[in-house]
A and B are shown apart, each in its own frame.
Chain A
Amino acid sequence: MTEIFGVPAQVLYGQLLLGLVNGSFYALLSLGLSVIFGLLNIVNFAHGTMYMLGAFLAYLLLMPLGLGYWWAIVLVPMLAAGLGIAIERTILHRIYRLDNIYGLLVTFALTMIIEGIVRVYFGVSGLRYPVPASLSGMIDLGFMRLPVYRMWVIFAALGLCLLTWVLIERTRLGATLRAGTENPRLVQAFGVNVPLLVTLVFGWGVGLAAFAGVLAAPLMQLTPQIGHSIIITVFGVVVIGGMGSILGSILTGLALGLIEGVTKVYYPEASSTVIFLVMILVLLMRPHGLFGKQ
C-alpha cells in the first residue's frame, strides 16, 4: 500500500475529501455571513442556528409529512428565508442605526430563543436523517472509494457559492447591491428600494445557511447544538479571509477545511484548534485578513 509521509494514502485521501466537505460548509456559511454583513452591517450570530434549523426542518418534512430529501432541499431554504425576512422586518430593521455590536447581541438573543424552542420539541439526543437512496453508495476510483453523497455535497455547495458570486458580481441586481453596500442613501436617491433589497439579502443569506443544514443533515447526528461550534469556526474563517470579498470567503473556507483534514491525519489532537491557530498567525502577520481591505 502506498504511504505518504508515513500515512496510508487512502487515509489521507479520505481525510482530504472530508476536509473538502467541511470546507464547502465553511464556504457556504462564511459567504452568507459576508453578504449579510456587507449590506446590513450585522454579524449574524444566529447563522449557525439557521444551519441547525435547516437540518431540523428537513427532518420535520420527512418524519410527519413524508416529504423526502429533494423536497427538503428546495423547500427548507425557502422556509428559512421566509423566517429570516420576518425577523429582519420585525426586529433587525430597528437596530441599523446603532453600533454594530448590537447586531451581534440581537442575533445572539435570537440564537438562544430559536435553539431553546428546538430543544423543547426535540430534546438533546441525536436524530438520524437517512442518506437519500439516489445518492447512496460508493464510486470505486481504484486508489480510493468515494461516497457519492459527499461528492454531491461538495458539488451542490460550491455550485450555490458560484451562483451567489455570479448574482452579485455579474448581474445588474448585484451591481445595485454592491452600490447599496457602498452608499445606501445615494442608491435610494436613484429610486432603488434599498430596504427591500436589505430584506431580500438577509433572506438569501439565511437561505444559504439553511441549505447547508439540509446538505449536512445526512452526515451527522442531529442535535440542537450542531450550530454551536461551526459558527465560531466560521467566524475564524471570516477573520482570516476578511469579509470584503466573495471569492475570498469561498477560497478561505475551502482551504481551511483542507488544512483541518490534513491536520486530522498527521496530528489529530490539533484538528479542532488548527483553524484558530491559523487565525492567530494571520492576525499577527496581516491584521486585516488575507482578502480584507485596509
Chain B
Amino acid sequence: MTGARCFSVLAAAALLAGCASVSPDGLRSDVAALTAGRTAGVPQAALPATDPAARAQAQQSINGWLAQPLTQDAAVRIALLNNPGLQARLAALGVADAERVQAITLPNPHLTLGRFTTSQEREIERTLAFGLMDLITLPWRTQHETERLQIATLQAAQDVAQLAADTRRAWLRAVAAEQVAATHDRMVEAAEVGAELARRMAQVGNWSRLQQAREQAVLHEANSQRARARLAAATAREDLNWRLGVWGAQAQYQLAAQLPPLPATALPADGIEATALRERLDVQAARRQLDTQAVRQGWSRAGAVFGDIGLAYSRNTTTERDTGSSDVKRGWEIELPLPLFDRGGAARTRAQAQVEQSAAQLQDTAVRARSEIRAAWLTYRTALDLARQQQAEVVPLRQLISDETTLRYNGMLASVWDMLAEARNSTQAVANAIEAQRDFWLAETDLQLTLTGTSPGALQGLTSGAAASSTPQGH
C-alpha cells in the first residue's frame, strides 16, 4: 500500500464524518422552528441573531416597543431578543453543536517515528496508526450525537418557551400591580377626607377624640396598604425588567394601562391530554432520549466486545552502519483485544438499563404532562369563573351597596363616613377584580405552556393578594 492509497482511506473516513459541520447560526433557526406557537401566545417572536447587523436592528425594534406603552406581546418579543440569560443559553447550544462536531470527527492518526542504533545497525521506524473502532462506529456515533443535539435543542426551546411564559407572567403581575396601586390611591383619598372631616368634627366639639382617632386609624391603615401596593408594583416591574433584560434608561418605559379583557368563551377541555402529549417539548425530548439510548445500545455492544481495534502501517528502515546498505521493512499491524475477561456483558447491561431508564422517564414525563394539563385546565377554568364573578357580580354589587349608602346619606340615615367606607369597599372590590383578572391570565399562561410548551413547574395562577405578585419567579 502506498502513501497515496493510505491517504485515500483517511479521506473516505473524513467523508463519512462530512456531515459534521457546525451550524452557522448556532442552531437558532432550529430552536425558532421548535418554539413557533409556543412563545406565550406571541406569533413569530424572533430570537437573538448571531449576525451583528441583525442584532442592531433588533435593538432598534426593542427601543421602538419600549417607546410605546408596553403590551404583553411586545414584552415577550423584547425578552426573547434581549434577555441575557437566554442569550447565554443559546450560546451554550452553539457550544454543544461544536462539541457534537468534535465528537464525530475521526481521531487524528498516530505517526510513530523511532530511531534505534546498535553497534551494527541503525534502525528508523515509521508507523502510521489509527483506531479502527472509531471509524466502524462512526455512523452510530453520528446518529447518536445528532440525537443528543436535538435533545439539547429541544431543551433550549423549552427554555425559550419558559422565558416567554415567565415574561408574560411578569408583565401581567406588573400591570395588575400598577392598577391595584392606583385603586389604593382612591382608598387613601377617601380615608383622608374621612380623617380630615373627623378632625374638624372634633375641633368644633361634635366628636370625641375617640371618634376622631378611629378615623385617623382608618387613614393610617389605608396609607400602609398603599405603601405595600406601591412596593408590590415596583418589585413586579423589576421582575419584568429582569426578564426583558433592560436597565437604566431603557427601564423607564410605560406599562400598558390595563390587563387584556376576559375572553367571552373558555377553551374547551376536549383533547387537551392528547395535544399535550403530541406538542410538549419535554415529552418530545424524553422520546428522543429513548431513541438515542436505543441507538447507543447497538454500537456499545460492538465497542464493548472489541474495545479499540487498532490498525497501523509501518515502514521500518534498517541501515547497517558498516556497509551503509539499507533494508526497508513494510507491514500492516492490527491490534485486537481478546474478549477473555470483559466480554461486554457489563456494557450491554448498562446500555440495556439506560434504555429502560429512558423508557421509564418518557412514561413519567407523559404521565406528568397529562396530570399537569388537567390541573392547568382546571385552574384556568376556575380562575375564569372567579374573575367573571368578581367582575360581573361582585363589583356591581359593591357599587350598588355604595350607591344605596349614598341614598341613605341623602336621607340622613347614614353618615359621610359610612358613605366613604363603602366607597373604599367598592374600590377594594375593583382591586380584587383586577387581581382575579390577573390570576386568570396567569392561569391561561400556565395552560398554554403546559399544553404545547413544557412543564410549568408549580402553577402560577390563583395566587392571592397584591404582595404575592412581588415574588420573583425563577426557573
Q: Do A and B come from one complex?
A: no
